[in-house]
């Protein structure tokens, strides 16, 4: 048996010790089949998100590409949930080690699929499409669910610095006679619109202060696929209505909507967009590569509770959830009841995972534009035993935004980045639940590879404006 400690969280040592003691007591007592131990790995994590998709103890089995079972098995432990008591939880988990098939204590909502294609992303899309319904039910704005209770996007000093950097670039271009008649800027994933409003306020004030007359030439675009979000953002920037336009767009492919602005955008900004886009995960064990697949389920006890609370026959819960993600809270005749059902299902939703052995690196589901050589390069800098994100959605969005940039333009992204592959062994990186949406760390090393193919370098700087912030800021610079 191999024990992996994947956390440096302060206070986890005592919890890890308690788990190992409980595990060894079961081994010594003969409650674990000793023949299974050589191929067993135990992963000790500390999940930073208070609401997430994990039980305290998770069993992961392994299969080959044809679906045949393999000997490798993992037990993943969330040390943060140690108050549940390892001695009570371990016997049931270990007792199923050698047993294939469905768990009778789970009501499955889908079959196994790569993480990027799972049901959780349908719920994520529903959240942003019906954001007003969710916020009305919870009584709080979605940004209040963030760890700091507000978005780092709206920090006044960060916005002032962003404006100053942009203005400095414009002044230099103007001095050289290279500044276009129209100055195009874009914000993708506009949130509440507060950042855009503050950014525009500051830009106008700086422009007036320095008498440069850049502001009247500015064409500021707000892009998002959520119409309610665009509506509230437009209301927030009402004082700049003459220079602002809203654009309904898919963050995965801004170029599709804005192809007429190819090579014209001087500034593109995103905050906490990439961490909310679909991603896959890969695992490397003993020199082999494995794809993580998952299927969503509800614990049987939670299924019964939800059925009783919302007057839905237990046998109809799965079909009702399918309709919920398709049509929204109108799945029940009363919208308020439908929203309550939605919130209860989301709170109870869990993921069961398995590992699929890849016979060749080429079978990894890489984002468009990357090939096995880029994955080989990433793995060269990674620990030998590691689980990491293939941030497919972020890579697609990034790659589909770069062609819009003016030769002097740049992309600025505030998000939770893993900036080196080595960081993946220092703690759990998602997915987690954030109110009604999904949050995932972004593989910055992967974005470096995407940028290099397009002729750009990427740089990461810490978000220095709030103590304890996990946010980093990505900048692009075009290669000479």
Check whether 480 has a pLDDT greater than 70: yes
Between 155 and 199, residue with greater pLDDT: 199
Ranges of beta strands (E only) in 27-79 are: 40-45, 57-63, 69-78
pTM: 0.93
Concatenated DSSP letters of 321-340: HHHHHHH-GGGSSSHHHHHH
Which tens digits make up the pLDDT trace of 315-331? 999 999 999 999 999 99
Alpha carbon distance 105, 98 (integer Å): 17
pLDDT at 348: 97
Which tens digits make up the pLDDT trace of 107-131? 999 999 999 999 999 999 999 999 9
Check whether 448 has a pLDDT greater than 80: yes
Which tens digits make up the pLDDT trace of 188-243? 999 889 999 999 999 999 999 999 999 999 999 999 988 889 999 999 999 999 99
Mean confidence (pLDDT) of the chain = 91
Which tens digits make up the pLDDT trace of 262-305? 999 999 999 999 999 999 999 998 889 999 999 999 999 999 99
Please check whether residue 394 is in contact with residue 277, taking contact to mean a CB–CB distance below 8 angstroms: yes
Supply 471's token pair. Answer: 């946010």
pLDDT at 319: 96
Q: How many CB atoms lie within 10 A of CB 382?
A: 19
Collect all residues with Cβ–Cβ distance below 8 Å to 139 and sequence separation of at least 6: none
Check whether 95 has a pLDDT greater than 80: no
Nearest to 163 by CA among 107, 207, 212, 227: 207
Alpha helix (H) ranges present in 95-150? Answer: 119-129, 131-138
Supply 81's token pair. Answer: 């949930």
Please check whether residue 266 is in contact with residue 190, taking contact to mean a CB–CB distance below 8 angstroms: no
Q: What is the largest CA-CA distance in the chain?
A: 81
pLDDT at 208: 98
Where exactly are the structural domains of the chain?
Answer: 1-101
Bridge partners (DSSP) of residue 271 are 414
Check whether 1 has a pLDDT greater than 90: no
In percent, the amount of the chain with pLDDT more than 70 equals 97
Which tens digits make up the pLDDT trace of 234-262? 999 999 999 999 999 999 999 999 999 99
Between 289 and 9, residue with greater pLDDT: 289
Check whether 39 has a pLDDT greater than 80: no
Residue reference for tokens 């700091």: 148
């Amino acid at each position: 048996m191999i024990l992996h400690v994947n956390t440096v969280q302060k206070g986890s040592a005592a919890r890890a010790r308690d788990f190992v003691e409980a595990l060894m007591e079961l081994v010594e007592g003969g409650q674990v089949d000793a023949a299974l131990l050589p191929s067993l790995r135990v992963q000790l994590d500390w999940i930073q998100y208070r609401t997430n998709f994990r039980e305290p103890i998770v069993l992961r089995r392994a299969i080959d590409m044809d679906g045949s079972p393999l000997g490798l098995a993992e037990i993943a432990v969330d040390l943060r949930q140690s108050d549940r008591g390892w001695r009570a939880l371990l016997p049931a988990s270990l007792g199923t080690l050698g047993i294939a098939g469905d768990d009778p204590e789970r009501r499955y909502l889908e079959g196994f699929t790569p993480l990027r294609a799972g049901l959780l992303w349908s719920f994520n899309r529903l959240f942003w499409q019906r954001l007003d319904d969710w916020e009305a039910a919870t009584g709080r704005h979605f940004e209040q669910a963030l760890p700091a209770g507000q978005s780092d996007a709206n920090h006044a000093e960060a916005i002032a610095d962003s404006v100053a950097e942009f203005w400095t670039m414009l002044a230099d271009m103007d001095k050289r006679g290279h500044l276009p008649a129209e100055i195009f800027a874009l914000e993708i994933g506009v949130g509440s619109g507060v950042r855009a409003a503050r950014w525009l306020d500051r830009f106008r004030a700086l422009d007036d202060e320095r008498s440069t007359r850049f502001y009247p030439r500015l064409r500021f675009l707000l892009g998002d696929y959520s119409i309610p979000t665009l509506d509230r953002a437009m209301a927030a920037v009402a004082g700049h209505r003459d220079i602002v336009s809203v654009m309904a767009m898919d963050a995965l492919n801004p170029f599709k909507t804005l192809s007429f602005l190819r090579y014209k955008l001087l500034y593109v900004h995103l905050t906490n967009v990439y961490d909310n886009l679909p991603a896959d995960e890969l695992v490397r064990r003993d020199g082999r590569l494995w794809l993580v697949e998952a299927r969503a389920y509800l614990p049987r006890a939670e299924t019964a509770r939800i059925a009783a609370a919302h007057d839905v026959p237990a046998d109809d819960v799965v079909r009702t959830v399918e309709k919920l993600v398709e049509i929204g809270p109108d799945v029940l005749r009363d919208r308020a009841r439908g929203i309550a059902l939605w919130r209860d299902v989301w709170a109870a939703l869990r993921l069961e995972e398995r590992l699929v052995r890849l016979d060749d690196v080429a079978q990894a589901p890489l984002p468009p534009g990357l090939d096995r050589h880029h994955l080989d390069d990433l793995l060269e800098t990674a620990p030998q035993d590691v689980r990491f994100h293939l941030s497919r959605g972020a890579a697609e969005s990034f790659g589909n935004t770069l062609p819009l940039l003016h030769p002097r333009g740049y992309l600025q992204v505030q998000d939770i980045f893993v900036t080196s592959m080595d960081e993946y062994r220092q703690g759990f990186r998602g997915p987690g639940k954030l109110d009604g949406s999904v949050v995932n760390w972004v593989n910055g090393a992967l974005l470096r590879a995407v940028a290099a193919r397009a002729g750009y370098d990427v740089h990461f700087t810490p978000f220095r404006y709030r103590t304890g912030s996990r946010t980093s800021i990505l900048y692009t610079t075009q290669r000479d």
